[in-house]
Amino acid sequence: MLLSVTWNVDPAIFTIPFIDREIRWYGLLWVIGLIVAVVMVGKIFKHEKLPEKWFDSLFIYMMVGIIVGARLGHCLFYEPEYYLANPVEILKIWKGGLASHGGVIGIIIAVWLYSRNVTKESMLWTFDRVMVPTGFTAACIRLGNLMNHEIYGGPTDLPWGFRFIDNLHEWMLGAEPVYTAASHPT
């Protein structure tokens, strides 16, 4: 392969010194996506002169749906035996483990409940108002996955293939890099 992108971005932006806590691209991009989505949906609701309590309720339903769905998706799709044997571990979201397809299922359930309990409108009515902001947030999260060097596609010999450094932290300290095969970005 003649061309590829070597991806060597550090997943951590910086460390807060007095608490030794990393601020990572993934978390920052999650927050940016959510803030932009909330602003976009808020503008849609204002433009359509919809009740403010509908907006507040939508925010709660969507946040619970996204977080619970993404966490349960990870736990039940990838390690069901472990989490069914250790159900308290499901609550430890800070240890990592979110699945986008679980988040999608959570959003669908949240929109169904919201439409049924709050607006009394169809699910499609609600999806019309949240789909673009949700897509923007999903794109931000996928960029976060790229920054984390995770969830990439299969091998490729196309020029836009990404090569990741498997030993990124050691490489940053002076070791020789160990590259993955070029992969198709997803």
Q: From the CB of residue 13, how many other CB atoms can be counted at a distance below 10 Å?
A: 14
Asked if 171 and 177 count as a contact pair (C-beta separation under 8 A), the reply is yes
In 27-148 the beta strands, taken as DSSP E runs, fall at none
End-to-end CA distance of the chain: 19
Task: Compute the mean pLDDT over every residue in the chain, rounded to the nearest whole number.
Answer: 91
Which residue from 135, 164, 143, 107 is spatially nearest to 28, judged by alpha carbons? Answer: 143
According to the per-residue pLDDT averaged within each range, which of 3-17, 108-122, 150-164 is highest? 108-122
Range in 46-50, 64-68, 162-166, 169-173 the model is least confident about: 169-173
Which residue from 9, 45, 5 is spatially nearest to 24, judged by alpha carbons? Answer: 9
pLDDT at 141: 94
Q: From the CB of residue 69, how many other CB atoms can be counted at a distance below 10 Å?
A: 23
pTM of the model: 0.84
Q: Tens digits of per-residue pLDDT, 44-93?
A: 999 999 999 999 999 999 999 999 999 999 999 999 999 999 999 999 98
> For residues 134 and 36, what is the distance between their CA atoms, to the nearest angstrom?
10
